[in-house]
Amino acid sequence: MADTDEIRYTAAEMRSIFLEWRGVEAPCGTCDGSGVRVYGSTATWRGGVGGQAVTTGVCDACWGSGDMHRKYTNLRAVESAIRDSKRTALYDAFVEHIAKATGATLEVLGGPSRAALEMAADLITKESRRRNLPEWARGFWGQRAMEYTAAALREAATFGKNKE
């Protein structure tokens, strides 16, 4: 060891240097301050369906900061907000289409509008079970079309409900 400036650190010293370098004051209990963790599937923090491979991904407790008191952006919340905005856009298009097709306006989807959508869905369901159905409604696809329309109306009645 003549001309080397080699410095040897213990594991504990290495860890504390690493944490200091990352600016971590209170190490996250899930990732121990690394900001990453190992997941059992390729879906990582998204959960649900993913490939069966152990995968390293951003820690879903601190979202990568490594610090339990200074979390980074919650990616799950971001993804959910994106999903909601797409849902809203889809809903707006649906309402506009229905309004144009029926000549009605559904600008504010309050209680009465929701009730109307649910009533329409119930009516379609009731009609689909009638004995003297017109020709088009008797077959498999006619029945499916009515089921899906009723389901779409019921789904539409729930849109934006949490905003009220």
Residue 30 as a binder of Zn ion (CB under 5 A): the answer is yes
C-beta closer to Zn ion: residue 56 or 85: 56
Hey, which residues between 43 and 62 contact Zn ion (CB under 5 A)? 59, 61-62
Q: Per-residue x/- marks for Zn ion, 57-96, CB under 5 A? A: --x-xx----------------------------------
Helix (H) or strand (E) holding 95: helix 75-102
Token pair 């040897």: residue: 8
Minimum separation from the CB atom of position 44 to Zn ion (A):
13
DSSP-assigned letters across all residues of 14-79: HHHHHHHHHT-SSB-TTTTTSSEEEESSTTGGG-SS--SS-EEEE-TTTTTS-BTTS----HHHHH
Residue 109 as a binder of Zn ion (CB under 5 A): the answer is no
Q: Which two tokens stand for residue 148?
A: 């899906």
C-beta closer to Zn ion: residue 67 or 109: 67
Minimum separation from the CB atom of position 25 to Zn ion (A):
13
Select the residue interacting with Zn ion from 28, 95, 109, 117 (CB under 5 A): 28
74 within 8 A of 98, measured Cβ to Cβ: no
Contact set with Zn ion (CB under 5 A): 28, 30-31, 59, 61-62
